[in-house]
Amino acid sequence: MEKKVAIQGIKGSYHHAVALAYFGEDTYINECMSFQEVVHSLEHKKSTDAVMAIENSIAGSIIPNYAYIDEHNLTISGEYFLPIHHCLMALQGQEILDIKEVYSHPMALLQCKEFFRSHPHIKLVEDADTADVAKRIHEQQLKEIAAVAGETAATIYQLDILAKEIQTVKSNSTRFFILNRRKKTGVKREEINKASLKFLADHKKGSLATVLNVMSDCGLNLTKIQSLPIINMPWKYSFFVDVTFTDYKDYEKAMSVLKIMALELKILGEYKNQNG
C-alpha cells in the first residue's frame, strides 16, 4: 500500500524534512495546517501515517500532542531526531533593520528569543507554520516582513537569508513521532528497544515511586516522563513515559507487573530507539 504521510506544515517545513528522511524522497505528503488536522487525516484515512513533533531540546514538550495521541488511540511506530537550524529570511534586498515584523510557528519563535532580544524593533507574531510564512512572503511580495524557518524554505520560496543559526542553543533538535492507526507497528520484535507508555498511579504516598522502581528493577531505563492533568479529576494526573531496554523479555516482565500495579496502563507504541 502506498504511504500517504500527514505533516503539520507545508513543503519546506521541518515536518516535511522528517517525512522525506523517514519514508523516502518519493513519499506522498498530505499538508495539514494544525496538529488537529494531522489527527483528522489519519482518522479519516486520508493518510496512512503521520509525522508529529513531540519535544524540542530548547522549548521542551509539546504537551497537547500527548493528549492527541492518547485520546485518538494513535500508535507510535517510530521516532526521528532532527537538528533544527533556524534562519531569518525575507524578500531579496532587505536587511534586518528594514524588518518590522517576524512571523513563525510559536515553538520556532520561542527557540530564538535570545536573538530577537538584540533586535527590539521587531515585533514577533505567532503563525501556523514556518514554511507557510516563507511561502506567503514570496507570493504576496511582503516587504518589512520576515520568517523564521529552515534554509530549505528560503531556497524553495526564493528569499534572502538575513541571519543563520539564530536559535538560542546551537545544538537545537526536535524529536518527532511517527504515527499511524495500525495495531502492528511493523517493527521486528528483535529491533524493538524503546516504548512509550501512559499510566495512572494510585493517589497514595509513594505510588509513583513504586511504579518507577518496578521499571528500574526490570532493567528498563526511564528516558522521559511527562504528566498531564486528568480532565474532570482535579489534581490527578496521567503519566507519559518513554523507556529503553536491551532485552524485550525484561520489558514484557515489567508490563505484566505494571498491569497489576497501575490503575491504568496503555502502551502507546513499541519501536526502535533512534538515539540507541
Task: Identify the CATH number of the domain in which residue 16 sits.
Answer: 3.40.190.10
63 and 129 belong to one structural domain: no
How big is the chain by its Cα radius of gyration, in Å? 21
92 and 71 belong to one structural domain: no
65 and 98 belong to one structural domain: no
pTM: 0.91
Q: Is residue 168 in some structural domain?
A: no
66 and 12 belong to one structural domain: yes
80 and 12 belong to one structural domain: yes
212 and 261 belong to one structural domain: yes
Tell me which of 115, 150, 180 is where a domain ends: 180
Listing DSSP states for 203-255 in one string gives: SSTTHHHHHHHHHHHTT-EEEEEEEEEPTTSTT-EEEEEEEE-S-HHHHHHHH
Q: Is residue 187 in some structural domain?
A: no
Instruction: Identify the H or E element spanning 195.
Output: strand 194-200
Q: Is residue 186 in some structural domain?
A: no
209 and 247 belong to one structural domain: yes
197 and 217 belong to one structural domain: yes
Q: Model confidence over 175-187: pLDDT tens digits?
A: 999 999 998 777 8
Q: Is residue 275 in some structural domain?
A: no
Q: State the pLDDT at residue 240.
A: 97
Q: Is residue 185 in some structural domain?
A: no
76 and 95 belong to one structural domain: no
44 and 99 belong to one structural domain: no
Confidence of residue 276 (pLDDT cuts 50, 70, 90): low
45 and 111 belong to one structural domain: no
Domain of residue 234, CATH code: 3.30.70.260
Residue partners of 261: CB distance under 8 A and separation at least 6: 210, 211, 214
Q: Model confidence over 109-145: pLDDT tens digits?
A: 999 999 999 999 999 999 999 999 999 999 999 999 9
248 and 223 belong to one structural domain: yes
- Total domains, the chain: 3
Query: Is residue 199 a contact partner of residue 265, using CB atoms and an 8 Å limit?
Result: yes
Q: Is residue 102 in some structural domain?
A: yes
Residue 271 corresponds to which cell in the numbers above?
519501536
Tell me which of 180, 208, 232 is where a domain ends: 180
Q: State the pLDDT at residue 1.
A: 63
Instruction: Identify the H or E element spanning 14.
Output: helix 14-23
Q: For the residues 6-31, what does the mean pLDDT come to?
A: 96
Residue 12: CB atoms within 10 Å: 23
Q: Is residue 245 in some structural domain?
A: yes
Tell me which of 130, 153, 180 is where a domain ends: 180
Q: Which domain holds residue 265?
A: 192-269
Q: Regarding predicted confidence, which is higher, 178 or 2? A: 178
Q: Is residue 274 in some structural domain?
A: no
Confidence of residue 28 (pLDDT cuts 50, 70, 90): very high
Q: Decide: residue 25, CB within 10 A, 0-12 exposed, 13-18 middle, 19+ buried.
A: exposed
